[in-house]
Amino acid sequence: MDERINILAKNIVQNSLKVRAGEKVLIEYNGEKAINFVKAVMREIYKHKAYPFAKSIDERLKRELLLGADKEQIDFMAEKDSEFMKAMDCYLRIDADENTCELADVPAKQMELYSKFYSDPVHLKVRLNKKWCVMEFPTPTYAANANMSFEAFEDFFYNVCTLDYNKMGKAMDNLKALMEKTDKVRIVGKGTDLSFSIKNIPAIKCCGEMNIPDGEVYTAPVKDSVNGTISYNTPSIYQGFEFNNVKLTFKDGKIIEATANDNEKINKIFDTDEGARYIGEFSFGVNPYVTKPMKDILFDEKIRGSIHFTPGSCYEDAYNGNESAIHWDLVYIQTPEYGGGEIYLDDVLVRKDGRFVLPELECLNPENLK
């Protein structure tokens, strides 16, 4: 077995989940490629005198279930799984997808049922209040989406997942402090001119705990403060469908126009509920190893020189009052290869073409985080 698996398992259990003796840890995993890693995590949990519980989630079976499910069935699933989730102290999700588009042909109304009546009560309402971590494990599918050989993708994966997150966390301190003093944010770039307030909303450092890989500092806009347009330049696979060229226009916080490669499909997502047309998160991506889109939100939202601006539910620790069954991290990259751009905090330029320009923030530029 690759020794890197054991090192990563130890990091997840000790540093990400901070498992303590006697705690119960639910591991949900998708894909046969993840089995050896799940076993390594379970062994590490036992070393901490805690209790692992493993549950396989097969996307092929999930697709079949969703094609025929009605609200009564989904409510029953949510009730039972919420009870089990409430009994857990920690949650780990490991995806090792063979096909990231397995749910692409599930009708929008079925996906809406699942989002509203399963994902929202089980994950947004219960799981997010636990110690949790979401991650992926290398598969040929992820390698292909990233236009990489499997061997090269594996090496990249371990580099990006085992970097010095303590060093990254310290480097984030100045950005966190600046964001928490900021009122007005303006983002300018190709097809983008967006302004909003983040006044009095906390900024949260993400450095190897809830996501692996990690590397972002997030907050949320004041709910009704967003105005202007953003043109995302990163493909995004959401609910099994690959969206491209997503462009959103806002007025007083609300998405009043949404276009993409499938206008009908994207607007159905934003019609899931009232909160789906408002923003729940604004975040800087700073991971030095993630440099290009991989059609994988977990990696793409950490791209150095990017932001994500997220329609849907906010997080409790950066609460802006917006609640929704969706949370879609759409990514906008501002490095020169993707058109550049600027970010201003209270009219002061803090990042240009993906690089921080204030001296106190230069520690977050890629060469200083590797």
Q: What is the pLDDT of residues 336-356, one digit of tens each?
A: 999 999 999 999 999 999 999
**Nearest by Cα to 208 from 252, 170, 234:** 170
Regions of the chain short of the pLDDT cut 50: none
In the prediction, which pLDDT does 282 show?
Answer: 98
Per the rule left: phi > 0, alpha: psi between -120 and 50, beta: everything else, 64 is alpha
Two structure tokens written together for 92: 């780990």
pTM of the model: 0.86
In the prediction, which pLDDT does 2 show?
Answer: 82
- The residue whose two tokens read 């009219």 is 347
Q: What is the pLDDT of residues 303-317, one digit of tens each?
A: 999 999 999 999 999
In the prediction, which pLDDT does 335 show?
Answer: 98
Strand partners, 176: none
Query: What is the pairing mode between strands 131-136 and 90-95?
Result: parallel
Domains and CATH numbers, the chain: 3-161 (3.40.1830.10), 165-368 (no CATH)
